[in-house]
Chain A
């Protein structure tokens, strides 16, 4: 790879911005993800060879697309059986063809990524496959990068992606945007994929770090793209708002050594005000003009936290009310847990504890450490130190990241005293 500055600059921006667009444009022309991926990489490689020497073409997107198409046609000439299969696909694609919208300013390729979002998040694929394909095809991550995102060995991830692509090809999962009547059923699947990528970035399930900021930022970048492609969908605005309002606190969530800093101890001056402003504006879009969706409501909860000066002056009654709405929209024990924590802030620790005890039988909360930590915190606030200690110990064995373990160790010491054998 050439090391001079223009090439290095292009590696980054080509892969980040043009890769997904180029891939989507080629998929919609050839109807084959494998072929599109191969010639996309080849065209980008060719650009990296030629552009530093010949200069960047006037229409870089068109240059890439032409190069990639030429390679695809050459390949099809060599491989007749493949070509025959694609010819059939092509006829059907033409039958369903719609004129692509013109590209927006700054890009000379039409944006056909929306259909790729829906293919990658198709309900016929497993949840893991959906996340992996979205990162691979739309975020333009390499297979080793996708593997790192899912904390998986690269070979295992490579296999998973190959299998998922085979499934798309053989079951013929289409590359198209669902019709208006299907869209409400299919859009939540796409949003769920982006939300899962974000939450893994916000609170890593394991590893040395509490947060994986690159992953959270990738989710935000993808959601911004989706927002541009579906400007009328309020839940897309809601999801982007939620991500921004939460991500705005990233710098305050960890201390100098990567340790956990909870909401009540965070230096709110370190919250990203610009990001909060943008999130608030999007939350307003999400909550206007009809009944709110689950992401809009979650964004509203995040907004109330972001707007408060501290924990004591946070509008807990409003937060509890929003959790009630959320619980009605998407009932889940995790939402009920968060509602109970908000109730404890509104009505005191005993009220929260009563609600948590009522959730004790929920299978999804069994072994879910945030539930145990919340319970232990409330027991501690009620002065029931021995019980709190026992529950902290239970939670200790379940947390996945090193900073969370260290944080729990400190809390355990706080209730058990310095002699408490916290070195579990």
Chain B
């Protein structure tokens, strides 16, 4: 079963998602290697800085796109990246989330990927 690990970091004053004393680049490298060595890696990316985000909405009445800078929702925690992993059950997914460096500096939300029958 596939789970997405959404890695959230606390936002600092300029809206950047990195936190002082957060995990080092090496911590992430070690984790990334562990996920791939375990054969559970499906996909994953780190996201660029929040200031580069753009939000698109289409007004349903006028069909006109509304493009604004920044993310849609103001929140204290910012999505900084994600992994999709394929593991047998939620306990296994939670175990990988506990090991994720992002769980130390912020939080990791674990969500099952919806599966639709063909």
Tell me what chain A mostly uses at the interface: helix, strand, loop, or mixed: loop
Tell me the complex Cα distance, A170–B112, Å.
Answer: 7
Docked pose: A171 CA to B88 CA in angstroms: 11
A51 to chain B, nearest CB (A): 37
Contact string against A for B residues 81-116, beta-carbon threshold 8 Å, 1 for contact and 0 otherwise: 000000011110010000000000000000010000
Chain A, residues 144-174, CB within 8 Å of chain B (1/0): the string is: 0000000000000000000000000011111
The residues in A between 174 and 232 inclusive whose CB is less than 8 angstroms from any CB of B are 174, 176, 178, 182
Question: How far, in Å, is A159 (CB) from chain B's closest CB?
Answer: 21
Judging by beta carbons under 8 Å apart, are B90 and A173 in contact?
A: yes
Q: Size class of A's contact patch?
A: 10 to 19
* A178–B95 alpha-carbon span in the complex (Å): 12
Say yes or no for A45: interface residue by CB 8 A criterion. Answer: no
Check if A124 sits within 8 Å of B90, measured CB to CB: yes
Q: Assess the B90–A96 pair: CB atoms within 8 A.
A: no
Question: Within 8 Å CB of B91, what residues of A?
Answer: 173-174, 176, 178, 182
Considering the complex, give the chain B residue whose CB is closest to the CB of A91.
B88
B37 interfacial contact with A, CB 8 Å: no
* CB closest chain-B residue, reference A84: B117
Contact B88 A124 (CB under 8 A): no
Chain B interface residue count: which class? under 10
Given A96-B88, A124-B90, the answer on whether A172 and B1 have CB atoms closer than 8 Å is: yes
Contact call B90/A92, Cβ cutoff below 8 A: no
* Inter-chain contact A124/B94, CB cutoff 8 Å: yes
CA distance A92 to B86 in the complex (A): 13
Interface string of A90-102 (1 = CB under 8 A from B): 0010011000000
Q: Are the CB atoms of B88 and A92 closer together than 8 Å?
A: yes
How many Å lie between the Cα of A52 and that of B90 in the bound state?
44
Residue A81, interface by CB 8 Å: yes
**Among B89, B94, B117: residue with most chain A CB under 10 A:** B89
Q: Which residues of A contact B1 (CB under 8 A)?
A: 172
B117 and A81 within 8 A (CB): yes
A172 with B117, Cβ < 8 A, contacts A92-B88, A124-B94 known: no
Known: A81-B117, A178-B91. 7 other contacts (CB 8 A): A85-B117, A92-B88, A122-B90, A124-B90, A124-B94, A172-B90, A173-B89
